[in-house]
Amino acid sequence: MLLCLFSYSQAKDEPPDMWDEDEQEEDKEKLRIPDKDAEFLLQEIVRDRSLDDYLKSDLESKKSDMKYKEMLELVELINSNRVLVVSGETGCGKTTQVTQFILDDYINRGVGSTCRIVCTQPRRISAISVAERVAAERAESVGNGNSCGYQIRLQSRLPRRQGSVLYCTTGIILQWLRSDPLLSSISHLVLDEIHERNLQSDVLLIIVKDLLHMRDDLKVILMSATLNAEKFSQYFDNCPMIHIPGLTFPVKEFFLEDVVEMTRYQPQNRDRRSSWKRGFWQGHNSRPEKEVKEAEYREMWPCFARTLEGRYSHTTIEALEKLDNDDKIDLELIMALIHHIVREDEDYFASFFVISALHQSFPSAHTFPAVNKKKYKMLPVVSSLLLEMSVPSCSETAASFVKKNFPLFFMYRVRPGKCYHLYNNLRASLLDDYQLPEIMRTPLEELCLQIKILKLGSIARFLEKALDPPTEKAVNLSIKNLTDLNALDHAENLTALGIHLARLPVEPHIGKLILFGALLGCLDPVLTIAASLSFKDPFFIPLGKEKMADMKRKVLSRNSKSDHLTIVNAFQGWEDAKQRGARYEREYCWDNFLSANTLQMLHNMKGQFAEHLMHAGFVSSKDPKDPKSNVNSDNDKLIKAVIVAGLYPKVAMIRPCHSKKRVKVYTQADGKVCIHPKSVNSEETEFNYTWLIYHLKMRTTSIFLYDCTEVSPFSLLFFGGDITIQRDEDQETIAVDQWIVFRSPARIAHLVKSLKKELDSLLEEKIRNPAPVDWQNRQSKDCAVITAIIDLITTQEKSTGTSRSYGEKGSYIRALKLFY
């Protein structure tokens, strides 16, 4: 028997390389459309009678066994309505069949050349796989001028321009709207998987609803799972709906009370707690709405417990209350459940965190000796892990999977299933029916810039039209953040910087990081950092080898005290290994727990970023490694300063801990936070400076900084917020945004403030009129200002615990010459 612990969930920081390489990306695709694709996308539809005849003849040759009567109702509904909602269970075929029904109907009526269908997909991998499936069903190859193709970020295989179906990601359509706000070359727009409610699809719904008032010839088909199809129909003025039936096997659900009853499990060494201090929704950082739910649950528990009497044993009810009051995952209970499943000869699927914990504790489990160990093999199959394990000899495909890191398992429901929940039925009844739409739970800065670049008017008024509008507070905060970033002015117009940030396919702070990397001559390493922050880092977590992986990452950090520079070092090592040959590349990735697929993706993204910078005028070459753009790429201190320029104000303060085991870290907004265990700084006890810059902060059992870089005072002074000079008890101080304070001699403080003003002026001019810095002309003021600041940052002496900072005499002299 093969027992697989399988995870479908992925967190933001999960490493790649196991399943769909692009599953995590959530489609952040707003890259410039390549010239080779733009001609196709903006093709005007003009009837071509000779093409009509050819398409009709081609269809006749393929349809000998097609059941056209089954699609007549759908086609007639599409033809007679401007908007139609098509609902159906996953796997019913709506994604692959609806587009073909439309195209074949047009071809059959002799007007195939006027049909141009675009179908959006929420993920890159689905756009490719669906296009390939449809092409195969039509006895064609995908793209190559045939009837079906796809376009995704960094890749496209385009179909013929007329009489065609194009599957693309939602971001591609949003990019398309910049060049053609009316989508005038599209006859049918199919929005697939809209029930997922990601940020871009919700925005596209608003745009399409407005677009229907300007284009009476556009057909819109909304495709959704059956969960909430009615809601989309109501949003589009109660448009008609049609349901496509599909074969779905029933799934029987078991809850915690059932699991305890069937396993007869009794929790050991636990005190029965009646105070309900913590529950399912509560923790150290509970939110008000979760506290309300917990109070509701607590109030309903006595009644629920009475309903269990007679159906479940007294010991089960007693165990249920003990388990329900414990905030930890009970691995022994899961072991007992697996034991039961093994005896029943069933399959089992679990979450990532459970699998990781079980993998460590499984060898010592006491529940399995009674089962014949030759009957089963434990395989922890998780999308974020590269596994070193023996694979059953009967599976050649599985063996290939381990050797080549190639996706192996695909999900097909082939029989009735069973689902075991480790929470009780009462909690299940109080859970939300759907996940909160992304537009209501994520930062909106990137979205706000897209609204402005697409000239969709007031941000707040546009977002009010959403299916589920974000709160006014969230919208105002995003606008304020963009104003503080100087991406929007106070009239909510895009600034010169805002225009550049809106055109980059990353969130605004990462976009600013990219621009500063170009302007300060350290392009290649900064693009590596930007690509990893906007996609994911290339490291993976091997089960059972976590400490070894942490050690490798620590070695790659080269004592930089920076997760971001660690990725730069890992990437450069990969490039060197790749140049030596495929075998060296494989060995390098394997030895350092790196994903070659993700590294290649980062490489491709860097090329796209550099190409955009070249077209915008910031660099003279689309090669990220162009020497003219990398005169300072060996300067780690400058790269750290550029990270500050991009990620500020995400700053944390380091305070030494008396135990010397681990430092204490604080942020202005949250107070004490923790450095995530995967960070190279997680166990660091000695830092040169007392400040960290970070990108991702997440709240779980505590607030964790998932990535961070130690930065110097001068980096914060020159590339942080506004600076002020103060006098405090006979001591001159200089402060960034009033709260990051350094002691400094008056002469140095005033010099820094003057240089900061010159730098801000220079960078603003470079943003307004992009041009590469001429590093050969050291006498120019541009080069002199930047060089002086780079010298100050580079030669800054090691900071003390009081954050006192000084520079080398020569650097100050060169800087002073600019003003005196």
Tens-place pLDDT, residues 215-225: 999 999 999 87
Whole domain around residue 239: which residue ranges?
31-244
Strands, DSSP E only, in 647-714?
651-655, 664-667, 671-675, 691-694, 697-699, 703-705, 708-711
Shared-domain flag, residues 319 and 174: no
Q: Is residue 15 part of a domain?
A: no
Q: Is residue 18 part of a domain?
A: no
Residue 260 has a pLDDT of 93
Residue 479 has a pLDDT of 95
Shared-domain flag, residues 681 and 600: yes
69 CA to centre of own chain: 43
DSSP 494: B
Q: Are 792 and 639 in contact (CB under 8 A)?
A: no
Within a 10 A sphere around the Cβ of 237, how many other Cβ atoms?
Answer: 10
Strands, DSSP E only, in 427-480?
none
Prediction pTM value = 0.77
Q: Measured on CA atoms in the order 359, 364, 368, 373, is the torsion positive or negative? A: positive
Place of tokens 């989508």: 183
Residue 9 has a pLDDT of 37
Shared-domain flag, residues 331 and 197: no
Q: How far apart are CA 534 and CA 602, in angstroms?
A: 10
Residues 6+ apart with CB under 8 A from 191: 119, 120, 201, 204, 205, 208, 220, 221, 222, 223
DSSP 696-712: -EEESSSEEESSEEEE-
* Residue 466 token pair: 């959403």
Tens-place pLDDT, residues 321-330: 888 765 566 7
* Mean pLDDT in order along the chain per 10 residues (820 residues): 42 35 41 57 77 79 56 84 88 84 92 95 89 92 92 88 93 90 94 88 94 94 83 93 79 91 81 41 51 80 89 90 70 82 61 57 50 53 42 33 34 70 87 82 91 94 94 94 90 92 91 94 97 92 81 94 97 96 94 94 94 92 94 95 94 80 85 91 89 90 90 91 78 84 82 85 87 80 82 65 40 44
Report phi then psi at 577, rounded to 5: -65, -40
Shared-domain flag, residues 210 and 147: yes
**How many CA atoms lie within 13 Å of 700's alpha carbon, on the beta-carbon side?**
13
Shared-domain flag, residues 477 and 554: no
Residues 6+ apart with CB under 8 A from 525: 517, 565, 568, 572, 633, 639
DSSP 496: H
Cα-based distances in Å from 542 to 388, 586, 593, 811: 8, 16, 8, 47
Q: Which of 711, 729, 761 is a domain's end point?
A: 711
Q: Which of 430, 459, 492 is a domain's end point?
A: 430
Q: Is residue 21 part of a domain?
A: no
Shared-domain flag, residues 454 and 513: no
Q: Are 627 and 776 in contact (CB under 8 A)?
A: no
Shared-domain flag, residues 139 and 262: no
Pairing of strands 241-244, 188-191: unpaired
Q: How far apart are CA 506 and CA 515, in angstroms?
A: 12
Shared-domain flag, residues 444 and 351: no
Q: Is residue 19 part of a domain?
A: no
Q: Of how many residues is the chain composed?
A: 820
DSSP 401: H
Residue 70 has a pLDDT of 61
Shared-domain flag, residues 574 and 673: yes
Of 659, 695, 646, 658, give the one whose Cα is nearest residue 675.
695
* Residue 541 token pair: 């977590």
Beta bridge partners of residue 562, listed in sequence order: 709
Residue 8 has a pLDDT of 38
Shared-domain flag, residues 488 and 603: no
Domains held by the chain: number: 5
Shared-domain flag, residues 160 and 258: no
Backbone dihedral region of 728: left (phi > 0), alpha (psi from -120 to 50 degrees) or beta?
Answer: beta
Q: How far apart are CA 44 and CA 161, in angstroms?
A: 9
DSSP 117-176: EEEEESSHHHHHHHHHHHHHHTTS-SSTTSSEEEEETTEEE---SSSEEEEEEHHHHHHH
Pairing of strands 148-152, 164-169: parallel
Beta bridge partners of residue 7, listed in sequence order: 382
Q: Which of 409, 430, 451 is a domain's end point?
A: 430
Tens-place pLDDT, residues 431-479: 877 778 889 888 899 999 999 999 999 999 999 999 999 999 999 999 9
Report phi then psi at 729, rounded to 5: 50, 60
**What is the CATH classification number for the domain harbouring 97?**
3.40.50.300
Q: Is residue 17 part of a domain?
A: no
Shared-domain flag, residues 153 and 236: yes
**Which pairs count as long-range contacts for 130-138, CB under 8 Å and 24+ apart, including other chains?**
130/95, 130/96, 130/167, 131/157, 131/165, 131/167, 133/96, 134/96, 134/99, 134/100, 134/165, 134/167, 137/96, 137/100, 138/62, 138/100
